[in-house]
Structures are given as structure tokens and as C-alpha cells.
């Protein structure tokens, strides 16, 4: 049974940092690309960052490029999202997700490419 459990969210002032963590279990972690998405109140869930199975390839939404860094530890079955220079518009529930396709080469930018999701962790950035 696939499980994805996010942690690390919280309340932070603008300009601050947070590090989100997603603990994965129930599948061959290194064989799948992973993604982080976020959903603000009243808005759609959007892609934030993705990483391929080896960790050697990443992709970011334009809105977070240069501020957020995605990484993974395949020995620990964890994926991380380091968020720096946070802005109030980064406020959202953040979700990690497992890509549909075994192989872990491509990074899907759309949520339809992901088959399993965590429960989400709230990030609130105050101005």
C-alpha cells in the first residue's frame, strides 16, 4: 500500500524559509519520479517542482524558480522541498505525489501524471 506523508509546514514571515519533507512507503521509491504541488484556497492544485527517480533531473514552476529546491534521498525514501524567500502568495496546502509511470525518467508537470498523493501540509506566509 502506497503511503506519502508530508511534514514541515507551518507559519512563517515573508522572506523566511521552510523545508517540507515527504516520507514514502509501499513502492520502489527510486523507480518513480516525484512531484510537489500546491493548492491555495479557491484555486486549482498546481505543479511546484518535480524530480526524477535518480535525483539528477529537476523541474520547477516559474513562480518558484530560484527560491525553491527539490531533492530526494533514495536510501531514506524521502523527497524534500526547501523553500526560501517565501512570499505571501506561496500560502497553500502543499502535496507530494508519486508519478504514474515506473522508470523515473520523465517529470510530469500536470497532476494527471501522478497516481498517489499525500494528505498535504499547510504553509502560511504572513506579510
d(CA 113, CA 107): 9
pLDDT at residue number 102: 85
CA nearest neighbour of 11 among 127, 88, 123: 123
50-62, pLDDT tens digit by residue? 999 999 999 999 9
- Count CA atoms within 13 Å of residue 42 on its CB side: 0
3-state class (DSSP) for residue 8:
coil
Whether the pLDDT of residue 101 is over 90: the answer is: no
pLDDT at residue number 105: 85
Whether the pLDDT of residue 35 is over 90: the answer is: yes
DSSP state of 101: S
Grid coordinates belonging to 29: 521509491
DSSP secondary structure of 31-72: GS-EEEEEE-TTS-EEEEEEE-TTSS-EEE-TTTTTTEEEEE
Chain center to CA of 83 = 10
64-82, pLDDT tens digit by residue? 999 999 999 999 999 999 9
Amino acid at each position: 500500500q502506497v503511503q506519502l506523508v508530508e511534514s514541515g509546514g507551518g507559519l512563517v514571515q515573508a522572506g523566511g524559509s521552510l523545508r517540507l519533507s515527504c516520507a514514502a512507503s509501499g513502492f520502489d521509491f527510486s523507480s518513480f519520479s516525484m512531484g510537489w504541488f500546491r493548492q491555495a484556497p479557491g484555486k486549482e492544485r498546481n505543479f511546484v517542482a518535480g524530480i526524477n527517480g535518480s535525483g539528477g533531473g529537476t523541474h520547477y514552476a516559474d513562480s518558484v524558480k530560484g527560491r525553491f529546491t527539490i531533492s530526494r534521498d533514495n536510501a531514506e525514501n524521502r523527497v524534500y522541498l526547501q523553500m526560501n524567500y517565501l512570499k505571501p502568495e506561496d500560502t497553500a496546502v502543499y502535496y507530494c505525489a508519486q508519478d504514474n509511470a515506473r522508470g523515473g525518467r520523465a517529470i510530469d508537470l500536470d497532476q494527471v501524471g501522478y497516481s498517489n498523493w499525500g494528505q498535504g501540509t499547510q504553509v502560511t506566509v504572513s506579510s
